[in-house]
């Protein structure tokens, strides 16, 4: 499994999940190989996050909203995700997103769920939100963390140099709220110069966003997941909370949007960050667009077939796993179902936002469709893993849960 992390890190893009729909089976070697190769463009410009992971410490103090864009969050998760991993000595982890961030920070899935959601819906910056997908499912199956690593993220963690850098899960969850990250709604309210009727609708929306943030924050894990099935349960809880948050925000947002003039809508549809954040966001968006464009280019069928087989072999070395766990034919067949089901989520969980989501209500709708696709993927892979584990002995289950640790040297 030595090269699996490299393949995960370079996953690129296909048409949007909302357009493609959810499919359990891989969409063919061409689409998957195109998906994998396009992401190379995204990884090339993200050494800053890896350098941050090697040299920096996490600071969970709350900066202003303008300074906490996707680039900064990628650096924070890069540091935090590796803080309890090999004592924080690794330059990068195999479960890193193509934008430099990490979807798993210890036991916490989607560390900046609230911020990523409002960045996409309100600021039209989906580089963080759309990075979540297949790689996070893969990391849920083959966790890179040992029990001692996970203890570094507990609220009450043992004293010592090894655990000094790791923020607790509670610190991360408390830091990702309207109160600490800053809500861009007020700036949007000023931009549209709301009248009295519009202001009342705006206040209703602001209240809904705070409620949505509280819902997402409440989904942070209270206990550490130590098995694949527990990690899938944590993922599903997080996604359900985000879907609940979207459902809370959509009606008041649509109500406000319908009250705006065409000029106000135009201002709302094209929000701006400050100059520094714009530059970082523009760089990430440029790489994301390039990867999405590359994924749509024509590709040779034979070359695509070769790339697809290489990708499967890198991430799913079945012969090695079978030999390591001493699987019989029935157990191997169940593992192949896990592989096929997980690989089949690539197409539905691609990192390209839909091109036609040009307004905040439309982006919220796209976010809802994406989260629903993720929930379907989580359930499908969870069921496949559950069936596979059902046929394993206790010793084999323990060995299976340790497979991710063997990739730590990647």
pTM of the model: 0.80
Number of domains in the chain: 1
Cα–Cα nearest to 70, from 89, 90, 54, 46: 46
**N-term to C-term CA, the chain:** 9
C-beta of residue 359 within 8 angstroms of C-beta of residue 271? no
Q: List the structure tokens of 122.
A: 């309100």
- Has residue 149 got a pLDDT over 90? no
Which residues form the domain of 315?
A: 4-407
Condensed to tens digits (0 to 9), the pLDDT of residues 32-76 reads 444 443 443 333 333 333 333 333 333 433 334 344 677 778 888
Note the Cα 342 to chain centre separation in Å.
Answer: 16
Condensed to tens digits (0 to 9), the pLDDT of residues 102-120 reads 999 989 999 999 989 988 9
Q: Name the 3-class secondary structure at 68.
A: coil
- Has residue 210 got a pLDDT over 70? yes
Cα–Cα nearest to 95, from 111, 119, 113, 115: 111
Q: Give the C-alpha distances (Å, rounded to integers) separating 92 from 129, 132, 171, 191, 351.
A: 21, 17, 22, 40, 21
pLDDT at 183: 54
């Amino acid at each position: 499994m030595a090269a699996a992390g490299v393949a995960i890190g370079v996953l690129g893009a296909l048409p949007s999940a909302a357009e493609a729909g959810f499919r359990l089976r891989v969409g063919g070697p061409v689409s998957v190989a195109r998906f994998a190769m396009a992401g190379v463009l995204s990884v090339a410009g993200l050494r800053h996050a890896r350098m941050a992971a090697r040299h920096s410490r996490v600071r969970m103090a709350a900066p202003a909203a303008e300074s906490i864009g996707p680039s900064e969050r990628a650096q924070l998760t890069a540091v935090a995700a590796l803080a309890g991993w090999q004592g924080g000595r690794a330059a990068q982890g195999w479960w890193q997103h193509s934008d430099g961030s990490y979807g798993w920070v210890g036991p916490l899935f989607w560390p900046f769920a609230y911020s990523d959601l409002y960045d996409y819906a309100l600021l039209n910056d989906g580089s963080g939100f759309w990075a979540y997908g297949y790689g996070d499912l893969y990391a849920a199956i083959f966790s890179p963390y040992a029990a001692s690593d996970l203890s570094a993220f507990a609220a009450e963690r043992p004293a010592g140099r090894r655990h000094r850098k790791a923020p607790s899960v509670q610190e991360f969850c408390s830091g990702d709220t309207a109160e600490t990250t800053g809500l861009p709604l007020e700036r949007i309210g000023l931009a549209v110069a709301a009248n009295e009727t519009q202001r009342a609708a705006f206040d209703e929306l602001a209240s809904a966003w705070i409620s949505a943030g509280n819902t997402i924050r409440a989904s942070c894990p209270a206990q550490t997941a130590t098995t694949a099935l527990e990690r899938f349960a944590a993922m599903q809880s997080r996604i359900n909370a985000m879907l609940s948050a979207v459902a809370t925000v959509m009606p008041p947002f649509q109500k406000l949007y319908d009250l705006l003039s065409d000029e106000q809508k135009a201002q709302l549809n094209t929000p701006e960050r400050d100059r520094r954040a714009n530059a970082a966001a523009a760089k990430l968006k440029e790489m994301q667009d390039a990867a999405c464009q590359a994924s749509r280019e024509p590709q040779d069928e034979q070359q695509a077939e070769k790339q697809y087989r290489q990708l499967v072999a890198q991430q799913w070395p079945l012969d090695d796993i079978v030999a390591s766990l001493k699987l019989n034919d029935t157990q191997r067949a169940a593992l192949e179902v896990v592989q096929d089901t997980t690989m089949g989520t690539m197409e539905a969980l691609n990192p390209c936002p839909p091109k036609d989501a040009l307004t905040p209500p439309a982006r919220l709708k796209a976010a809802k469709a994406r989260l629903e696709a993720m929930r379907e993927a989580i359930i499908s892979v969870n069921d496949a893993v559950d069936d596979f584990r059902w046929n394993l002995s206790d010793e084999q289950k323990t060995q299976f849960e340790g497979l991710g640790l063997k990739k730590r040297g990647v």
